[in-house]
Amino acid sequence: EAGVTQSPTHLIKTRGQQATLRCSPISGHTSVYWYQQALGLGLQFLLWYDEGEERNRGNFPPRFSGRQFPNYSSELNVNALELEDSALYLCASSDWRGGHNEQFFGPGTRLTVL
Amino acid sequence: AQTVTQSQPEMSVQEAETVTLSCTYDTSESNYYLFWYKQPPSRQMILVIRQEAYKQQNATENRFSVNFQKAAKSFSLKISDSQLGDTAMYFCAFMKLKGGADGLTFGKGTHLIIQP
């Protein structure tokens, strides 16, 4: 069974640009979560998508947004990039509707903002 | 809001020894889950073990077991017969259940080093 996949592995952008990160959940999982792992700040919850809708978001500005597609894959968009957005962005999926609340993580996308 | 505290930034033990990682949390929720995740140098987060708050029995997964003390809001991880491959960052995580699985709240992590 394929795990959670993310693309790209690395992404280099300049300040002010937009970044788009992609995530494919485990087959059968309807929920996708995004986390930011920045140096010194630890792992922080960003967004939760389920059944195509945003269900919850963490304490991040609106320039962090995303969507979930009908096949449950997801996209995270970061607009007006700032230097402090440099981080590892992790995607996770779960099958909570099936009674399984564990979140399984992808390998991450390393975003570097210059 | 929930908080998760891991008071040991780094621990080092010899191979084959037993090691216990500490985690405390604070919440007003009564229905929640607790997890331990492992993040090796490859950066891939791997689920180690989970515990439902309503279950009194401590979870075990092979060499990994937890000591869950709900009243004390404590959730420690014990690794028996430690192996070199156990070297990693270990994160304790909390998830409340309110209409569905929510985002995880993580501790700052403990860097565990297994010495040969």
B44 contacts on A by Cβ (under 8 Å): 105-108
**Which pLDDT belongs to residue A98?**
83
| Residue B46 C-alpha, separation from nearest chain A C-alpha, in angstroms | 7
> Stretch A105-113: mean pLDDT, rounded?
97
Task: Tell me the CA distances in angstroms from B81 to B15, B17, B109, one per residue in order.
Answer: 7, 5, 21
**Which pLDDT belongs to residue B107?**
97
Regions of chain B with pLDDT less than 70: 99-100
Q: CA A70 to CA A37: how far, in whole Å? A: 27
Q: Is A45 in Cβ contact with B33 (below 8 Å)?
A: no
Residue of chain B nearest A100, judged by CA positions: B101
The whole-chain average pLDDT of chain A stands at 95
Q: Is B102 in Cβ contact with A43 (below 8 Å)?
A: no
Q: Is A50 in Cβ contact with B43 (below 8 Å)?
A: no
Tens digits of residue pLDDT in A77-94:
999 999 999 999 999 999
Reported confidence tier of residue A40, pLDDT bands at 50, 70, 90: confident
Q: Is B103 in Cβ contact with A56 (below 8 Å)?
A: yes
**Which pLDDT belongs to residue A41?**
84
| Residue B12 C-alpha, separation from nearest chain A C-alpha, in angstroms | 21
**Which pLDDT belongs to residue A12?**
98
CA angle centred on B109, ends B105 and B111, rounded to 5°: 160
**Which pLDDT belongs to residue B99?**
65
Task: Tell me the CA distances in angstroms from B34 to A22, A33, B27, B44, B77, one per residue in order.
Answer: 27, 17, 12, 19, 11
B106 contacts on A by Cβ (under 8 Å): 42-44
Count A/B contacts: CB-CB distance under 8 Å: 58
Q: Is A104 in Cβ contact with B50 (below 8 Å)?
A: no
**Which pLDDT belongs to residue B44?**
87
> Stretch A33-52: mean pLDDT, rounded?
93
Tens digits of residue pLDDT in B87-115:
999 999 999 887 667 799 999 999 999 99
Query: Distance between terminal CA atoms of chain B?
Result: 41
Reported confidence tier of residue A2, pLDDT bands at 50, 70, 90: confident
> Stretch A64-78: mean pLDDT, rounded?
97
Residue of chain B nearest A103, judged by CA positions: B47
